[in-house]
């Protein structure tokens, strides 16, 4: 995608942030890698640190503390972090007092081993342990190393107002669930982020109202599996069966939460990610259709188009069930855009399985895709039971066929907008020209157009006259009625 968008999965991304706090006596430099949840967590960490006398800095050479929020999803993501740690080693040669902490999924996966494997690391903190940071920082200041990788069954950080250091003041994330109970056989997330739990809807709505009062125009509800959101007075998914009949009757599922958000702030545009096909209900699709401020876009990872591979991955649906879901989406929301995640070269994937993936893509004609080579992750069920037996060259060849087909479909979807008028939220200046604004339409496609007198944060109607596979080009015709 030519206009890289930091508000969605885009692989192993780096962010450097700066924020001032007049009471701060120390400074922290933070980098985040991986998924949107990590970016969102970094804002929680920044908030906790700011309460404890730290300001964020964008100069690693000036910082007292470097934190890196890490990703374990593929081997490459981990290697990127290890390389950054070598860089921080050079910084320590200049600043002998520098402390270095690792956060996130790699911290959870490697635990104490991190301290042995990477001598630069002083502190290891898992995704559910950030509230312990003040104590852990005291430990390392006293010259000891510190580790907290305890996973929680109820921590959602619902009571912390994130410090929006990654933000443009327009788009923000609100996390609604943490963890995942699904156990897809290839995936390390259930091991690094623990059991699935939903956050109290009251605190979600409070965060939404707070963002509105600060001028934000679009929010993304975030979770590994947002469609399985469930609040019944408690939020731990696996204990729902133990809830009383009264609790069950008044429980709030994702469709209800989405409706509450849409009604509470009708002027705020709402997105959500990620949907797991097994949990996406017709109710959610109907709520999307009912409210104009819920964007007509669904990220619906499928991973493979082959039933036997889906089964080996422990995905809880078949190819046919997935196609029925897609048909229902297009029936209820004809202009909905759909994107996917796809993995090439899962153990035992045959040429036939790969062709099934291509034919599924042909059927759906996704607007976007996030496509990966299978990367065996230590400790996962696939790593334990299945041989990583697809040759790297074959994995790469299949991946490039998937990517090529996706580009064709993205262009096909983009072209469908030519001649139409779409509503765009202006987010930033176009990277290619300072005369143009860039934003996204509801369907999550980047739109570029001449600035005129509009400003960042405006909702405008743009008539599309040209496109590439990733970007729509047009002319603004006025403010949209949402503005
Ligand atoms: N919760 C999301 C996915 C989270 S991980 C879901 O419902 O699917 C984001 C994506 O990374 C996954 O969808 C998958 O395509 C990819 N991924 C996860 N583990 C992987 C692995 N071991 N090798 C390659 N890609 C992987
Ligand atoms: Fe991973 Fe599957 Fe959960 S991909 S995050 S185990 S839905």
With a Cβ cut-off of 6 Å, ligand 2 is lined by 180, 182-184, 187, 189-190, 224-225, 276
Query: From atom 21 of ligand 1, which residue's Cα is the shortest distance away?
Result: 375
> CA 80 to CA 72: how far, in whole Å?
10
Reported confidence tier of residue 15, pLDDT bands at 50, 70, 90: very low
pLDDT digits (tens, 9 = 90+) for 391-436: 999 999 999 999 999 999 999 999 999 999 999 999 999 999 999 9
Domain 8-148, what fold? Rossmann fold (3.40.50)
Q: Which CATH class is domain 171-415?
A: alpha beta
pLDDT, averaged across the chain: 94
Q: How far is the CA of 187 from the centre of ligand 1 (A)?
A: 6
pLDDT digits (tens, 9 = 90+) for 252-284: 999 999 999 999 999 999 999 999 999 999 999
pLDDT digits (tens, 9 = 90+) for 176-214: 999 999 999 999 999 999 999 999 999 999 999 999 999
Query: Which of ligand 2's atoms lies nearest the C-alpha of 224?
Result: 5
Reported confidence tier of residue 24, pLDDT bands at 50, 70, 90: confident
pLDDT digits (tens, 9 = 90+) for 292-322: 999 999 999 999 999 999 999 999 999 999 9
With a Cβ cut-off of 6 Å, ligand 1 is lined by 73-74, 186-187, 189, 224-225, 274, 276, 301, 303, 341, 343, 372, 374-375, 377
Give yes or no for a cis peptide into 274 (omega within 30° of 0). Answer: yes
Do 421-479 and 171-415 have the same topology in CATH? no
Q: Which CATH number is 421-479's, of 3.40.50.2300, 2.40.50.140, 2.30.30.140, 3.40.50.1370?
A: 2.40.50.140
Where in 218-353 does DSSP place strands (E)?
A: 218-222, 230-231, 252-253, 269-273, 297-299, 337-344
The domain segmentation of the chain, as residue ranges, is: 8-148, 171-415, 421-479
pLDDT digits (tens, 9 = 90+) for 434-459: 999 999 999 999 999 999 999 999 99
Query: From atom 24 of ligand 1, which residue's Cα is the shortest distance away?
Result: 374
Query: Which of ligand 1's atoms lies nearest the C-alpha of 373?
Result: 24
What pLDDT does residue 5 have? Answer: 31
pLDDT digits (tens, 9 = 90+) for 39-94: 999 999 999 999 999 999 999 999 999 999 999 999 999 999 999 999 999 999 99
Residue 44's contacts (CB-CB under 8 Å, 6 or more residues apart) are 130, 157, 160, 162
What pLDDT does residue 12 have? Answer: 39
What pLDDT does residue 2 have? Answer: 29
Q: Which ligand is nearest to the CA of 303?
A: 1
Residue with the larger pLDDT of the pair 6 and 65: 65
Q: In percent, how much of the chain has pLDDT > 90?
A: 93
Residue 197's contacts (CB-CB under 8 Å, 6 or more residues apart) are 153, 154, 155, 156, 177, 178, 179, 235, 236, 237
Q: Please say if the pLDDT value at position 358 is more than 50.
A: yes
Query: From atom 1 of ligand 1, which residue's Cα is the shortest distance away?
Result: 224
Reported confidence tier of residue 14, pLDDT bands at 50, 70, 90: very low
> CA 106 to CA 188: how far, in whole Å?
10
Query: From atom 1 of ligand 2, which residue's Cα is the shortest distance away?
Result: 187
Query: Which of ligand 2's atoms lies nearest the C-alpha of 303?
Result: 4
Pocket test for ligand 1, best of 237, 299, 309, 343 (most atoms within 8 A of CB): 343
Pocket test for ligand 1, best of 73, 278, 345, 390 (most atoms within 8 A of CB): 73
Q: How far is the CA of 357 from the centre of ligand 2 (A)?
A: 19
Where in 192-347 does DSSP place strands (E)?
A: 197-198, 218-222, 230-231, 252-253, 269-273, 297-299, 337-344
Reported confidence tier of residue 4, pLDDT bands at 50, 70, 90: very low
391 HSE (CA, 13 A, CB side)? 4
What pLDDT does residue 286 have? Answer: 98
Q: Find out whether 36 and 12 touch, Cβ atoms under 8 Å.
A: no
CA angle 420, 8, 445 (to 5 degrees): 10
Query: Which of ligand 1's atoms lies nearest the C-alpha of 382?
Result: 22
What six digits make up the tokens of 304? 């493979």
What pLDDT does residue 483 have? Answer: 85
């Amino acid at each position: 995608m030519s206009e890289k968008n930091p508000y969605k999965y885009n692989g192993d991304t780096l962010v450097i942030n700066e924020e001032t706090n007049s009471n701060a006596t120390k400074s922290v430099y933070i980098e985040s890698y991986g998924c949107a949840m990590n970016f969102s967590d970094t804002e929680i960490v920044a908030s906790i640190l700011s309460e404890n006398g730290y300001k964020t800095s964008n100069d690693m050479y000036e910082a007292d503390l470097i934190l890196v929020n890490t990703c374990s999803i593929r081997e490459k993501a981990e290697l990127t972090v290890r390389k950054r740690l070598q860089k921080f080693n050079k910084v320590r040669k200049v600043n002998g007092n520098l402390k270095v902490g690792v956060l996130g999924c790699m911290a959870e996966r490697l635990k104490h081993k991190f301290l042995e494997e990477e001598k630069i690391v002083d502190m290891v903190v898992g995704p559910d342990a950030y509230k312990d940071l003040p104590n852990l920082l005291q430990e390392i200041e006293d010259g000891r190393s510190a580790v907290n990788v305890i996973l929680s069954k109820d921590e959602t950080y619902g009571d912390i107002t994130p410090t929006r250091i990654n933000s443009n003041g327009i788009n923000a994330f609100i996390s609604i669930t943490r963890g995942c109970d699904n156990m897809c056989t290839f995936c390390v997330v259930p091991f690094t982020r623990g059991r699935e739990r939903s956050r109290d809807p009251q605190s979600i709505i409070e965060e939404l109202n707070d963002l509105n009062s600060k001028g934000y125009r679009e929010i993304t509800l975030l979770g590994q599996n947002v469609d399985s959101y469930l609040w019944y007075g408690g939020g731990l998914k696996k204990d729902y069966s133990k809830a009383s009949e009264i609790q069950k009757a008044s429980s709030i599922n994702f469709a209800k939460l989405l409706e509450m958000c849409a009604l509470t702030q009708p002027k705020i545009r709402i997105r959500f990610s990620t949907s797991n096909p097994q949990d996406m209900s017709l109710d959610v699709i109907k709520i999307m259709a009912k409210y104009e401020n819920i964007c007509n876009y669904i990220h619906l990872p499928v991973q493979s188009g082959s039933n036997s591979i889906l089964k080996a991955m422990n995905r809880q649906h078949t190819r046919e069930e997935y196609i029925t879901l897609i048909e229902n989406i297009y029936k209820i929301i004809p202009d909905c855009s759909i994107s996917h995640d796809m993995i090439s070269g899962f153990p035992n994937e045959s040429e036939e399985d790969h062709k099934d993936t291509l034919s599924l893509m042909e059927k759906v004609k996704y607007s976007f895709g996030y496509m990966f080579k299978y990367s065996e992750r230590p400790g996962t069920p696939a790593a334990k039971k299945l041989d990583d037996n697809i040759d790297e060259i074959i994995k790469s060849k299949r991946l490039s066929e998937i990517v090529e087909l996706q580009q064709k479909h993205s262009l096909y979807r983009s072209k469908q907008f030519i001649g139409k008028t779409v509503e765009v939220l202006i987010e930033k200046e176009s990277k290619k020209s300072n005369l143009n604004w860039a934003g996204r339409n509801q369907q999550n496609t980047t739109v570029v157009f001449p600035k005129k007198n509009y400003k960042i944060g405006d909702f405008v109607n743009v008539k599309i006259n040209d496109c590439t596979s990733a970007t729509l080009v047009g002319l603004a015709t006025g403010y949209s009625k949402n503005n």
